[in-house]
Amino acid sequence: MSVWSAFIQLIRRDLVLALRRRSELANPILFFVMVIVLFPLGIGAEPNLLARMAPGIVWVSALLAALLSMDAIFRSDFEDGTLEQLLLSAQPLPVLILAKVSAHWLVTGLPLLIVAPLLAVFLGMSETALGALLISLALGTPVLSLIGTIGVALTVGLRRGGVILSLLVLPLYVPVLIFGASMVDSAATGLSFSGQIYILAAFLALALSLAPVAAASALRISLS
Amino acid sequence: MNIFMKWFHRLGSPPWFYNISGKLIPWFAVTTILTLVVGMYGGLILAPADYQQGDSFRIIYVHVPAAWMSLFIYIVMAVAGAISLVWRMKMADVMLISSASVGASFTFIALVTGSLWGKPMWGTYWTWDARLTSELLLLFLYFGIIALYNAVEDRQTASRAVAVLTLVGVVNIPIIHYSVEWWNTLHQGTTVARMDGPAMDSSMLWPLLTMAVCFKLYYIWVLLVKARAELLSREINNGWVRELVGGKANG
């Protein structure tokens, strides 16, 4: 089997598995929506205040939703032994991990993009800000998934991996949060945000090329 | 085999390290205390008060060396992590994990002294200044490393996992640093006094450099002590530890 077809097969397998468990599919989206609903309840529903804080609120919520769903990427495969078979397979592990991350992002990251317009309405964001939000989420959430994969790979064998995972991964998420939120912020105040697009794209390129390798070596250590 | 490789292999041998570090520790202890006394005397008594900040500036003799050490130790850990992953050297693992808590302490000291200095100078204990924020994130990275090490039961696996995490962190530290700097300048502009003011007078500078040397020596001292303890607990089932302990118990 060529590397490419292994990549496609693994994505297809993960997507089929995810679609068979539809209730789990909805969880990250529900979490994302509910966290965002909590903010107006907590800080007051004044439209100006909400519009000012919207970029940060949406990005922090997206980050938390991404973090929450991260744990599932290897969990079931680890429990039924599939992960060990992936490690033993003849295909390069980083490529397989990239396939798993891609499938995971399609199931958990992409839905955030789909519900984002609804939340933009909740928070009173303008149309240009919404456009910037969609671009920033499209570029940023894959980076969150890729970085998170390294953390999950390090903690997959642990019983209480969840708390440690957030401790490991959150500091590494900070740059994405900063540039994602500042991009939406710039758009909301009518400034150009092309700089942030380039930087987020650069993060994505860096994460795409390095994170699978790091996650592969972390996984080999965790399962050794 | 050339001399360097021989030295490198010897360094990887726990009994040899245990032996040599035992002999080195007193030297580092003495030089640490010596430089501490000289540096503190120079900084607290000899150096003149700053024309703007008065005596408050003297906190830099702890703050700045601690901040330097916080980054320096992380780099040492990353190098040790790389060595551990490439050559599977036991000593590199020990060095890496023994450094983590020292590094976290220095980062904490830098933050605390910084905020104590910030209260009279900036009028607030905490401001979301770029340097403060990236130092705080560095502290979180240290905590993550320590937490991961403690969470994995098998020491060998734990060390290698920590080595990977440290290397991931070292790629990220510049990114985090520059993003935070950029974020800060975007939102606030320069409301906060910049650290990189006028060049320092030599009467203020030499105690600072002495303290920096002192902190480095202290790090090596503590590192050796911690590494020896870590080594003993790891190698508890090996012959040389039994010999060491047994010999002392009998004698």
B235 φ, ψ (degrees, to nearest 5): -95, 25
Contacts of A214 in chain B (CB under 8 A): 164, 167-168
**Per-residue pLDDT, A105:** 94
Q: How far apart are the first and last CA of chain B?
A: 39
For position B45, what pLDDT does the model report? 83
Which tokens in the block code for residue B78? 């990353």
Closest chain B residue by Cα to residue A160: B151
Structure tokens at A143: 């980076």
Burial code (b: 16+ CB inside 10 Å, e: under 16) for B195-219 equals eeeeeeeeebebbbebbbbbbbbbb
Residue in chain B lying closest to A169 (CA): B144
Which pairs count as long-range contacts for B236-243, CB under 8 Å and 24+ apart, including other chains?
B238/B14, B240/B14, B240/B15, B240/B18
B191: Cβ contacts below 8 Å, ≥ 6 apart: none
State which residue of chain A sits closest to B138, comparing Cα positions: A171
pLDDT the model gives residue A211? 94
pLDDT score for B247: 63
State the pLDDT at residue B200: 66
Residue B1: per-residue pLDDT: 57
Q: What is the pLDDT of residue A52?
A: 84
The secondary element (H helix, E strand) that includes residue A32 is helix A22-43
Within 8 A of B172 by CB-CB distance, chain A residues are 171-172, 175
Identity of the residue in B151, B157, B169 whose CB atom sits nearest the CB atom of A164: B151
- The closest CB to that of A182, out of B160, B165, B186, belongs to B186
The complex scores an ipTM of 0.87
The shortest CB-CB distance from B147 to any of A164, A174, A179 is to A164
A59 near B CB under 8 A: no
- Distance (Å) from the C-alpha of residue A164 to the closest C-alpha of chain B? 7
> Quick one: how many helices (H) and strands (E) in chain B?
8, 0
In chain B, where are the structural domains located? 24-198+205-238
Q: Closest partner residue to B147 among A157, A167, A218, by Cβ?
A: A167
CA distance B180 to chain A (A): 7
**C-alpha to C-alpha distances, B94 to A51, A75, B234, nearest whole angstrom:** 51, 30, 9
Q: Do A168 and B85 touch (CB under 8 A)?
A: no
Whole-structure pTM value: 0.87
| C-alpha distances in Å from residue A103, one per residue of A107, A136, A203 | 6, 20, 20
What token pair was written down for A68? Answer: 């929450």
Residues of B in contact with A160 (CB under 8 A): 151
Closest residue on chain A to B145 (Cα): A168
Closest CA relative to residue A123, chosen from A56, A64, A187: A56
Over chain B (251 residues), what is each successive 10-residue block's mean pLDDT? Answer: 72 82 91 92 81 77 89 93 88 91 94 86 79 88 92 88 92 81 57 50 81 93 92 82 69 40
Instruction: Write out residues 120-179 of A within 8 Å (CB-CB) of B.
Output: 150, 154-155, 157-158, 160-161, 164, 167-168, 170-172, 174-175, 178-179
Judged by CB atoms closer than 8 Å, whether chains meet at A155 and B169 is answered as no
User: For residue A136, which of A128, A14, B109, A221 has the smallest C-alpha distance?
Assistant: A128
DSSP letter, residue B33: H
Contact residues for B196 (Cβ-Cβ < 8 A; gap 6+): none
Running along chain A, 224 residues long, what does each successive block of 10 average in pLDDT?
89 91 84 90 85 88 90 87 89 93 93 88 85 92 94 87 86 90 87 89 94 93 86
CB contact under 8 Å between A175 and B175, yes or no, is: yes
